[in-house]
Amino acid sequence: MKKIYQKLLEGIPDYKEFLTVEEMNSSSKKLAEEHPESVSIFEIGQTRDGIELYCLKIGSGSHTALMFGCPHPNEPIGTMMLEYFSKRLAEDEELRKELDYTWYIVKAWDADGLRLNEKWLKGPYTLYNYSRNFFRPAGFRQVDWTFPIDYKELHFHNTLPETTAMMHLIDKIRPEFIYSLHNAGFGGVYWYLSRKTPEIYEEMREAANRQDVPLNLGEPEAPYCVEWAPAVYQSLGIRQDYDYMEQYGNVDMKEAIKCGTCSADYGKDVCGAFTLLTELPYFYDKRIKDMSPSDILRKDAVLEKLEWNEKSNRFIRETLDISRRYMEEENPFLLALCAFTEDDSGEATKRMVEENPEYHKTATIAEKFDNGLVSKFYKLLSYGMLIRANEYELEKMQGKGEEEQEKAAALKKAFEIAEKEHRELAEYLEQEIDYLVVPIRKLVSIQLECGLLMAEYLKEH
């Protein structure tokens, strides 16, 4: 690693909290005002709620890179990396020359969704507080999964305004390098890449090791992930999801997938862009990297997870039935819950684990932990949104001075049932998971170092 990059990484502040959309927009405008020689800011579009989406342009190098935070609104680690990196780029001419890129930076792409996560952004960072104030939209409302596509029987063109804005930006600047700044809630570090770059895998893993954040060596995010090296995967697009469902799902493919494809697919199709994702956790437990054998077959661990998920989804649907008729169609939490509990991939996964010999081996401790406890953590997030779906309507009633007793009673009943189940699961997980909260500075460092490694690699290859 070059000294100038080491100095950059060493200067990362010890961030204690995440920024809001308003704080980031204010910071970006100030940066452009203070450094007009190297920074400009322009609007690329607006969100569905009418919030301006800003892009910073920094430097004038011979290569072009696009970086964006919050492709999912519950994933703000990248916003802090971009907050720091944009400031250092603006201030340091030597750094800009060494990198030799023109940087386009969108700090918070799903700004509307980030606003719905604001109650946990300032902490405390506990499983309870994060999940109680969590929001993630349904797939067809995710800015990074509504790019248009025509593939076999899938024809998706219901593109969101935020997605359209990013499409136009990609069309205009034709980036060589796209850094899509995601993060997971729990687990360890892992990567998605557009194509193999084996020369830097070890350096990427070392970036995580230096910060004492483990690799995620449990189950991959999706059963059809192609692993190129430990914790390194081929980029995912909707085509892989489609082919998997088509092979194992036994479903009507016209109805099975209701979203589009992602920015990595779009950038590759438009201008051959290379996309990197560095996935990072807020929380981790050392078991996520334990490759020693457990006491259960991997197949059985997956099937137990699926059985628990089906039971949990029934609870969510039954609780929604109590008050759903009183919810507006555009309630964002309702839309998300309907999408997440109507996932058709369960039967496909059951068939796949029966047919795939890899799942008939003994599960590692990491795989058992991932299937048994990490999966419950992610369902805890849905329980939080179940509370919020009812809370959203109750707050609207209060704001309007509405006094319809039957409606209020149904919403309060469902709210209380959801709150009880959420609290009980949160308390169970607090006892069963020996988790640590990863400092934001460490996560920013890993994400930034991996971006620097890839930027240098792409210049040379």
Contact 59, 103 (CB under 8 A): yes
DSSP letters, 58-82, are E---SEEEEEEE-SSTT--HHHHHH
> d(Cα 88, Cα 8) in Å, to the nearest integer?
8
> d(Cα 92, Cα 396) in Å, to the nearest integer?
48
Contact 178, 66 (CB under 8 A): yes
pLDDT at 255 (0 to 100): 84
Structural tokens at position 226: 């192609």
pLDDT at 343 (0 to 100): 65
- Ranges of residues in the chain with a pLDDT under 70 are 343-345
What is the CB-side half-sphere exposure of residue 72 using CA atoms within 13 A? Answer: 18
Identify any residues that bridge with 190 across adjacent strands, giving them in sequence order: 279
pTM for the model stands at 0.93
pLDDT at 345 (0 to 100): 62
Question: What stretch of H or E contains 430?
Answer: helix 405-432
Judged by DSSP in three states, 179 sits in strand
What's the N-to-C CA distance of the chain in angstroms?
Answer: 17
DSSP letters, 313-359, are HHHHHHHHHHHGGGS-TT-HHHHHHHHHHS-THHHHHHHHHHH-GGG
DSSP H helical segments within 151-297, as ranges? 161-173, 201-210, 238-248, 253-256, 263-271
Judged by DSSP in three states, 389 sits in helix
User: What does the pLDDT look like over 422-450, one tens digit per residue?
Assistant: 999 999 999 999 999 999 999 999 999 99
DSSP letters, 291-322, are -SEEEEEHHHHHHHHHHHHHHHHHHHHHHHHH
> d(Cα 355, Cα 358) in Å, to the nearest integer?
9
> d(Cα 52, Cα 33) in Å, to the nearest integer?
18
Identify any residues that bridge with 277 across adjacent strands, giving them in sequence order: 180, 192
Omega before residue 214 within 30° of 0, cis: no
Which residues lie closer than 8 Å to 437 by C-beta, 6 or more apart?
125, 126, 282, 283
Phi and psi based region of residue 401 (left: phi greater than 0; alpha: psi -120 to 50; beta: remaining): left
> d(Cα 195, Cα 24) in Å, to the nearest integer?
32
Structural tokens at position 157: 């063109």
Residues 180/241/339/443 CA torsion (nearest 10 deg): -30
Structural tokens at position 71: 């492709």
Structural tokens at position 201: 């895998």
Burial (CB < 10 A; 0-12, 13-18, 19+), residue 155, is exposed
Which residues lie closer than 8 Å to 420 by C-beta, 6 or more apart?
none
pLDDT at 129 (0 to 100): 97
Structural tokens at position 249: 């799902």
Regarding beta strands 52-58 and 177-181, do their DSSP bridges make them parallel or antiparallel, or are they unpaired? unpaired
Domains with residue ranges and CATH for the chain: 3-285+438-460 (3.40.630.10), 288-434 (no CATH)
Residue 409 identity? A
Q: Which residue has the tokens 């990072």?
A: 280
Residue 31 identity? L
Question: What stretch of H or E contains 83?
Answer: helix 77-91
Structural tokens at position 192: 């998605």
Query: Could you tell me which of 417, 454, 446, 433 has the C-alpha nearest to residue 370?
Result: 433
